[in-house]
Each structure stands twice: as structure tokens, then as C-alpha cells.
């Protein structure tokens, strides 16, 4: 059985020989050598999405949904419009669908064909999200994949897998942790991880986040 390329395994080549990191680096070098890409401009783009955008935009959307019931309803009804209310949209975010986790249902996002991902909300997709093991196993055995990420759900919790496409990108609204009722939206943002908005993780408990 092919093991999932989980967090911390970014440097490991998949069992089928696919090494996405090496492949991307080789392609980047080729484009630079041919003069199609300015390496300095590319560094700026990567830096922006990795650190300035990152998952922070999505976390702000989720935090507002937790704190504002009316916004939550708008987000679940039309993820694109609700995200645009906070200024988030554009390429990769034209058609956003928000799906909400509950005690009875856990949502997991994958792109089985390539690596479609809500860039304006979550920034750069993690390497494991693009790997063949994750893309195949998430559909076939999602509960086992979640365990690989350290998430063990009760058997009574159903798991629904959503397949992102070029037309539709998904955002998971994780369950709000207990004991956060008095926290501001700014504090709530710190509890929301990229993995929790993909479905491979859960929102953090307040005790795990430094004040």
C-alpha cells in the first residue's frame, strides 16, 4: 500500500517514484535558463503567497463565520461572494464553495486530477496535497488518510470527500473549539490552520496557541 505523503514527509519520494519537489525545481530552472521567467519576480510571488497570503485569508473568513452567524450563513450559501466581502477573490477563487464540519460530518478536500486549490484563501498548496498518494488515497480510504495526519474521528462521524476542479474550489469551515466563546476574531484566527481548512486537520484548542 502506498503511504500518504503527510506533513514532515515533504522530502520523501513517493513509492511510485514521483518527486514533485524535484520536478518543480527542474521546470523552474529550465524556464529561467530560457528566459521565460525572472527568478527575482518568481521569488516575490512565492514569498507573497507563502507568507503574506498563506492561509491567513482563509483563517479570517472562517473566524468571521464562527463569530458572526449571519456571515456564516452567507458563506455557506455563496462562498465566493462571502469571501469577496472581506476582499478575497481573483484567480483560483472565482468559485468558492464552503463546507462546514459538524459532529456528524467531516469534510475533506482533494483534487484528484491535478492540484486545484483556493489560492486567494489558502495561499500555496502544500506539497503533499499535490502528491499522487494523497490524491488517490483521500478518495479511497479517507479515514485512514486522516489518521496519517493525526486525526482520528469517531466511527459515528461520516466523512465526505470533495473533489476540487478548475471550476470549483472548496474551503472547509472547521468546528469551532470549545472554550472559545469569549475570544475575538483576531484570537480565533490563530486557532485556524491550513490543514483544518483542507480537512486534514482540526482547529487548535486555545491552550495550544500562545496568547
Active site residues: 111, 114-116
Instruction: Say how far apart CA 95 and CA 24 lie, in whole Å.
Output: 26
CA distances from 183 to 85, 176, 206 (A): 22, 11, 9
Which of 75, 69, 105 is CA-nearest to residue 170? Answer: 75
Beta strands in 50-191 (DSSP E): 96-100, 105-110, 158-163, 169-173
Instruction: Say how far apart CA 59 and CA 88 lie, in whole Å.
Output: 12
Instruction: Say how far apart CA 93 and CA 80 lie, in whole Å.
Output: 7
Amino acid at each position: 500500500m502506498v503511504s500518504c505523503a503527510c506533513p514532515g514527509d515533504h522530502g520523501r519520494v513517493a513509492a511510485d517514484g514521483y518527486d514533485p519537489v524535484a520536478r518543480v525545481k527542474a521546470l523552474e530552472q529550465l524556464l529561467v535558463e530560457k528566459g521565460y521567467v525572472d527568478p527575482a519576480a518568481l521569488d516575490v510571488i512565492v514569498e507573497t503567497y507563502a507568507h503574506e497570503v498563506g492561509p491567513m485569508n482563509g483563517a479570517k473568513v472562517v473566524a468571521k463565520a464562527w463569530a458572526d452567524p449571519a456571515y456564516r450563513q452567507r458563506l455557506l450559501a455563496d462562498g465566493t461572494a462571502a469571501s469577496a466581502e472581506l476582499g478575497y477573490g481573483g484567480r483560483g477563487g472565482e468559485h468558492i464553495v464552503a463546507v462546514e464540519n459538524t459532529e456528524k460530518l467531516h469534510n475533506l478536500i482533494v483534487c484528484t486530477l491535478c492540484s486545484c486549490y483556493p489560492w486567494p484563501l489558502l495561499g500555496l498548496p502544500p506539497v503533499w496535497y499535490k502528491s499522487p498518494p494523497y490524491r488517490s488515497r483521500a478518495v479511497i480510504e479517507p479515514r485512514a488518510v486522516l489518521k496519517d495526519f493525526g486525526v482520528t474521528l469517531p466511527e459515528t462521524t461520516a466523512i465526505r470527500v470533495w473533489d476540487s476542479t478548475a471550476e470549483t474550489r472548496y474551503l472547509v469551515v472547521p468546528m469551532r473549539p470549545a472554550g472559545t466563546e469569549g475570544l475575538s476574531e483576531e484570537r480565533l484566527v490563530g486557532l485556524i490552520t491550513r490543514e483544518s481548512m483542507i480537512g486534514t486537520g482540526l482547529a487548535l484548542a486555545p491552550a495550544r496557541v500562545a496568547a
